[in-house]
Amino acid sequence: MPLEEKKKSRLYALKPLTDRLPAVSRPEGHVQFRTKMFWVLLILVLYFALTNVFIYGLDKGSVIDFFSSLRAILAGAQGSLMHLGIGPIVTGSIIMQLFAGAKIINLNLRDDEDKSVYQGTQKLLVIIMIFVEAVPQVFGFLTPSSGFVTGLDGTQLFGLIPAGNGDLLARTLIVVQLFAGSYLVFLMDEVVSKWGIGSGISLFIAAGVAQQIFTGTFNWEPAQAGSSVPAGAVPKTIYYIQNLPAGSMAQGGLEQIMFQQPNPLIALIGTIGIFLIVSYTESTRIELPLAHGAARGARGRYPIRLMYASNIPVILVAAVLANVSMFSLLFWQHPEWPLIGQQTWIGAYPAANDPRVISGQIQRTTPIDGIAYYFSNVNGVGDWLLPLFNPAQYGVYLRGQEYWQVLLHLIIFLAVMIGGSIVFAKFWIMTTNMGPEDVARQIESSGMQIPGFRRDPRILRRVLERYIPVVTVISGAFVGALAAGADLIGTVGNASGTGVLLAVGIMIQLYEAIGREQMMEMHPLLRDWFGGR
């Protein structure tokens, strides 16, 4: 018994706390298909509603959104209760995966009790990450309105914040609102995972990206005040065709349609291209033949997809880049901090009175130098290709860098996206029971075996080891390269290449999951094979 106690992880000490955290209970029996669809649609409507609930007491005019280029991936909305989106959830998942992959935490995820401790600890870590991401933003970039501060000057908060500290109290209440919104997202994800179909995080990402693509394609409102040119790619193209003289089309009109921000036609073409590539790739797979050991003639196939690790690795890489952006901007805003305050090598950002910011060519959250610049996203051909051919018109998008620095930025960005996706793909496979040993155990427990081989999990594992590790690396590299390539081309609605890649993959997987659920509803015996409830 003492030896058994030594093997237990120290995280078991947190179990009394994690067991008391608010959570969504699992259904005791099978959940009907209609019920699952009801919860999916209800949570989706609730998500869109929360993205339109603005944070009470926030000064809308002074909000600095340094996640603007990653909004589609983080499934949030600037200044709303969903301001943090899924950022804390994904960051907490990254940390736990790194600890589990590096064997820093002694938990066996195949053991139900250890897995429960892992999930409870991850939930606690998500709560911590909500405050880690909310507090720097509220005290650095989210300014409370003057009326809200004045109204709270004579109020104290349970004796913790004395009267006369209206600004501190206002910011504290904004942090509370951000915490409530972010933890609600976490609970909504649990509802979809346990009572619905698929993952809530994936559902929110797909919904946000779909909204951005739709508005970026068909928005007929002017892009700028006082302008008559629509913002959407299709209305803008129609406008230029109708209003430009016939001779001017070859003298710059075509360039305005194809490349001019926002939502150039090349971005729409790139978005459609990503949709087609991902749709084709999702159907590419290796199928291992299987036969039932007891029932003769019962055969099946186990598919190993080219995108075996799914889109999760790209989400995790994007979350890392988002945190690099957040903290580098925070350091730049506080020059009084020793060693890290306003250090150019960490990241430099333009001032509010910068002519490029005033004209809308770049944003205050756009890094122009340092590590943050080299790790930042590339936003279409205007950021790197067009300045090479037309420096006079597009040189401003180089952010003051020499072209060799732009090329170095591209190389580092591609390396981070591809390399990071490979690393996270491996961690994801290890922590989600998708490795060779786990898959072999699942196939063996279902009564299936590979024809011509003895029914033994070790034999199955050796066969699967020929494919799964290799496909995992290829899968991670492919999704990373595809997302980065889409960013280089550009996408409509500023959804980012990663966002479009994720949305298409999520929608295809959701469609297949709905199909499986309908099959299990009609044929209950299939639930054991698919792992359904």
Integer Rg of the chain from CA = 25
pLDDT (0 to 100) of residue 175: 92
**How far is it, in rounded angstroms, from Cα 378 to Cα 524?**
48
Give yes or no for residue 404 having a pLDDT over 90.
Answer: no
**How far is it, in rounded angstroms, from Cα 487 to Cα 478?**
14
Q: Which residue has the higher pLDDT, 494 or 246?
A: 494
Give yes or no for residue 415 having a pLDDT over 90.
Answer: yes
C-beta separation of 430 from 101 below 8 A: yes
Give yes or no for residue 452 having a pLDDT over 70.
Answer: no
The pLDDT confidence band at residue 408, using thresholds 50, 70 and 90, is very high
∠ Cα 438 443 446 (to 5°): 125
In a domain, 385, yes or no: no
Average pLDDT (321-342) is 85
In a domain, 88, yes or no: yes
Residue 28: alpha-carbon gap to chain centroid: 31
Retrieve residue 217's tokens: 């394609």
In a domain, 346, yes or no: no
* Torsion (CA) 422, 424, 429, 435 in degrees, nearest 10: 50
Give yes or no for residue 411 having a pLDDT over 90.
Answer: yes
In a domain, 72, yes or no: yes
Average pLDDT (193-219) is 88
Residues whose CB falls within 8 Å of the CB of residue 163, separated by 6 or more in sequence, listed in order: 153, 154, 155, 156
Q: Which residue has the tokens 């959570």?
A: 23
Domain count for the chain: 1
pLDDT (0 to 100) of residue 307: 82
The per-residue pLDDT of the chain, averaged, comes to 81
Range name among 235-244, 283-292, 410-419, 500-509 with the lowest pLDDT average: 283-292
Percent of the chain topping pLDDT 70: 88
**How far is it, in rounded angstroms, from Cα 495 to Cα 497?**
7
Average pLDDT (93-122) is 79
In a domain, 427, yes or no: no
The pLDDT confidence band at residue 2, using thresholds 50, 70 and 90, is very low
Helices (H), 102-165: 112-138, 146-151
Give yes or no for residue 365 having a pLDDT over 60.
Answer: yes
Retrieve residue 218's tokens: 């068909």
- Per the structure, the complete domain to which residue 80 belongs is given by 1-20+32-196
Retrieve residue 365's tokens: 């959250």
The pLDDT confidence band at residue 70, using thresholds 50, 70 and 90, is low
For residue 120, which phi and psi values (nearest 5 degrees)? -65, -40
pLDDT (0 to 100) of residue 239: 87
Average pLDDT (315-328) is 83
C-beta separation of 479 from 488 below 8 A: no
Percent of the chain topping pLDDT 90: 13
**How far is it, in rounded angstroms, from Cα 178 to Cα 54?**
11
Give yes or no for residue 458 having a pLDDT over 90.
Answer: no
441 residue type, one letter: R
Give yes or no for residue 43 having a pLDDT over 80.
Answer: yes
Give all strands of the β-sheet with 299-305 in edge-to-edge order. 299-305, 285-292, 448-449
DSSP state letters, 428-464 = HHHHTT-SHHHHHHHHHHTTEE-TTS-S-HHHHHHHH
Average pLDDT (247-251) is 58
Q: pLDDT of 193-205, one tens digit each? A: 889 888 888 888 8
Q: Which strand (E) or helix (H) includes residue 184?
A: helix 166-195
C-beta separation of 347 from 370 below 8 A: yes
pLDDT (0 to 100) of residue 277: 86
Give yes or no for residue 497 having a pLDDT over 90.
Answer: no
Identify the top-confidence range among 178-192, 250-264, 359-373. Answer: 178-192
In a domain, 116, yes or no: yes
**How far is it, in rounded angstroms, from Cα 181 to Cα 77?**
11
CATH number for the domain spanning 143: value is 1.10.3370.10
**How far is it, in rounded angstroms, from Cα 226 to Cα 454?**
75
Q: Which strand (E) or helix (H) includes residue 513?
A: helix 497-522
Give yes or no for residue 491 having a pLDDT over 90.
Answer: no
Q: Which residue has the higher pLDDT, 470 or 529?
A: 470
Retrieve residue 349's tokens: 């950002």
Q: pLDDT of 114-139, one tens digit each? A: 888 888 898 899 999 999 888 888 88
pLDDT (0 to 100) of residue 69: 62
**How far is it, in rounded angstroms, from Cα 445 to Cα 448?**
8
C-beta separation of 340 from 331 below 8 A: yes
Buried b (16+ CB within 10 A) or exposed e, 172-210: bbbbebbbebbbbbbebbbbbbbbbbbbbbbbbbbbbbb
The pLDDT confidence band at residue 417, using thresholds 50, 70 and 90, is very high
**How far is it, in rounded angstroms, from Cα 94 to Cα 415?**
19
DSSP state letters, 355-379 = HHHHTTSS-TTS--BHHHHHTSPP-
pLDDT (0 to 100) of residue 528: 54
Helices (H), 244-264: 253-259
**How far is it, in rounded angstroms, from Cα 486 to Cα 491?**
7
Residues whose CB falls within 8 Å of the CB of residue 404, separated by 6 or more in sequence, listed in order: none
The pLDDT confidence band at residue 1, using thresholds 50, 70 and 90, is very low
In a domain, 68, yes or no: yes
In a domain, 217, yes or no: no
The pLDDT confidence band at residue 473, using thresholds 50, 70 and 90, is very high
Retrieve residue 62's tokens: 């002074």
Average pLDDT (22-37) is 85
This model's pTM is above 0.85: no
For residue 448, which phi and psi values (nearest 5 degrees)? -95, 160
Retrieve residue 472's tokens: 């995992």
The pLDDT confidence band at residue 22, using thresholds 50, 70 and 90, is confident
The pLDDT confidence band at residue 3, using thresholds 50, 70 and 90, is very low
Give yes or no for residue 5 having a pLDDT over 50.
Answer: no
The pLDDT confidence band at residue 40, using thresholds 50, 70 and 90, is very high
Give yes or no for residue 372 having a pLDDT over 80.
Answer: yes
Say if residue 262 is preceded by a cis peptide, omega within 30 of 0.
yes
490: left (phi over 0), alpha (psi -120 to 50) or beta: left
Average pLDDT (204-227) is 85
Give yes or no for residue 4 having a pLDDT over 50.
Answer: no
Average pLDDT (268-272) is 88
Helix, strand, or coil here: 110?
A: coil
